[in-house]
């Protein structure tokens, strides 16, 4: 064979020995087959899996998609969420925030300061636990940002989530305190609420009340937006000074909401009745408070308590907003509650001045006690009360006398030194 032929055959069959060795070795074949099977399994099973099992997402980055899924899981969370409640609390309060107002937290400075002031007021009550009841994910996020605890409604229906009786059921389920309460999300309290709660617990122990139902009336305070607190300051000493100044302004200018109705409610956690049997009054609407007070008055085993003379409850309002509030048409919740009120009728007087017991200061230390009270005759009608509250000619004759009966004296701040200055709330 010549040199050219040898070169051709050497090139043509150079790899033949390696290929023959590979095909003859079964271990190599097994490895190759395994790799092929794994690749095929991955593309057949795992690639289509996310599109089949996960909701369709817009074309965003992987990080944004993961964050969106985390938010969804947080929103679906059942039970308490956010800042842990104080372990030694004596009272658990609940608020149901106005969704439309709270969603303006990042766009309206007035709303932001109102919510910040609410959060600061409850933060100062170390023995009062506050729960924000809402099913709205955005509102829950805002509540967590200002340091509040949230709870998702658990009625099982959209309509049930909007009613007081279901709210009362869920707070009793999660509260660890012997008494619970409900208040408007526009009202701020001082330490007098905590003192009254402690007095209620002691009063129930002393008098052996089977059930109790305590209520109180707020005071409206006309303020400028800059009078309210802001959590953006971040400095504790600034917040203390601002809070002290705010309380001095509230005590000096607060006007009683002249009405027989109530703005906050407290009752025992082990309530003997079934709240689901109560009329389905809608959260945020008028009428529920008057009906509940009258109903509690007629229950033979329930001690009713008026907390207005002691508890400082203030509702900061802007003058313009206050004028609009009285001129505006009734809300949908109020219209629905009017129908519920009409269907179930009125029991008792529904007047906070006619309750069995009243909170009062006692002793040199001005501590709070729950004492027996003789009922007072019902006062002027609600229309006259609202007219006088928003200004105008003073009532004369019996109307003037009745209107004065409704106004409870402003709780006197105790003069005591300390980090809160000359006026220190008790």
Render pLDDT for 7-64 as a digit per residue (tens, 0 to 9).
555 555 454 555 555 455 556 566 666 666 766 666 655 555 555 555 554 555 554 4
- Per-residue pLDDT tens over the stretch 149-193: 999 988 878 778 888 989 999 999 999 999 999 999 999 999 999
Nearest residue to 196 (alpha-carbon basis) of 186, 176, 181: 181
**For the chain, domain boundaries:** 79-424
Q: Cα dist. 85→2, 127, 130 in Å?
A: 98, 9, 7
What does the pLDDT look like over 104-115, one tens digit per residue?
Answer: 999 998 899 899
With a cut of 60, say whether residue 257 has pLDDT above it: yes
Q: In the numeric block, which tokens belong to residue 252?
A: 């000096």
Helix then strand then coil, in percent of the chain rounded to 5, is 45, 15, 40
Burial class for 282, CB neighbours closer than 10 Å (0-12, 13-18, 19+): buried
- Concatenating the DSSP letter of every residue in 184-231 gives -TT-EE-THHHHHHHHHHHHHHHHT-SEEEEEE--EEEE--GGGS--G
Rounded CA-CA distance 130/188 in Å is: 12
Predicted TM-score of the model (pTM):
0.70
Mean pLDDT of the chain: 76
- Among 23-32, 79-88, 398-407, which is the least confidently predicted range? 398-407
The two structure tokens encoding residue 344: 């179930």
- pLDDT value at position 40? 67
pLDDT for residue 368 is more than 50: yes
Q: What was the pLDDT predicted at 76?
A: 72
The pLDDT confidence band at residue 197, using thresholds 50, 70 and 90, is: very high
pLDDT at 35: 64
Who has greater pLDDT, 59 or 135?
Answer: 135
Query: Of the given ranges (180-189, 224-233, 410-419), which has the lowest mean pLDDT?
Result: 410-419
């Amino acid at each position: 064979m010549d040199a050219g032929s040898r070169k051709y055959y050497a090139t043509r069959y150079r790899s033949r020995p390696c290929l023959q060795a590979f095909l003859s070795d079964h271990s190599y074949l097994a490895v190759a087959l395994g790799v092929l099977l794994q690749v095929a399994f991955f593309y057949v099973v795992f690639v289509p899996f996310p599109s089949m099992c996960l909701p369709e997402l817009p074309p965003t980055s992987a990080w944004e998609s993961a964050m969106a899924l985390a938010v969804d899981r947080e929103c679906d969370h059942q039970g308490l969420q956010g800042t842990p409640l104080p372990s030694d609390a004596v009272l658990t309060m609940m608020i149901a925030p106005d969704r439309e107002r709270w969603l303006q937290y990042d766009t309206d400075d007035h709303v932001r300061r109102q919510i910040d002031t609410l959060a600061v007021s409850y933060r100062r009550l170390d023995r009062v636990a506050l729960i924000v009841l809402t099913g709205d994910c955005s509102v829950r996020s805002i509540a967590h940002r200002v340091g509040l605890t949230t709870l998702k409604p658990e009625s099982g229906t959209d309509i049930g989530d909007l009613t007081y009786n279901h709210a009362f059921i869920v707070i009793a389920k999660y509260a660890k305190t012997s008494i619970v309460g409900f208040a408007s999300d526009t009202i701020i309290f001082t330490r007098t609420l905590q003192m009254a709660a402690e007095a209620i617990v002691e009063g129930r122990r002393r008098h052996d009340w089977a059930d109790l139902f305590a209520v109180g009336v707020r005071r409206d305070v006309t303020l400028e937006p800059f009078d309210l607190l802001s959590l953006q300051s971040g400095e504790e000493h600034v917040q203390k000074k601002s809070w002290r100044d705010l309380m001095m302004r509230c005590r000096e200018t607060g006007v009683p909401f002249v009405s027989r109705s109530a703005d906050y409610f407290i009752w025992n956690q082990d309530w003997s009745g079934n709240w689901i049997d109560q009329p389905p009054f809608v959260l945020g609407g008028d009428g529920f408070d008057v009906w509940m007070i009258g109903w509690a008055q007629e229950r033979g085993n329930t001690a009713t308590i008026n907390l207005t003379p002691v508890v400082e409850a203030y509702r900061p309002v802007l003058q313009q907003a206050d004028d609009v509030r009285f001129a505006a048409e009734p809300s949908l919740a109020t219209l629905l509650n009017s129908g519920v009120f009409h269907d179930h009728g009125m029991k008792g007087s529904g007047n906070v001045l006619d309750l069995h017991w009243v909170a009062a200061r006692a002793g040199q230390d001005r501590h709070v006690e729950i004492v027996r009270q003789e009922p007072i005759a019902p006062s002027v009608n609600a229309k006259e009360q609202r007219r006088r509250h928003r200004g105008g000619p003073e009532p004369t004759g019996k109307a003037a006398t009745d209107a004065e009966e409704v106004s409870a004296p402003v709780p006197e701040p105790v003069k005591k030194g300390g980090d809160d200055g000359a006026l220190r709330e008790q």
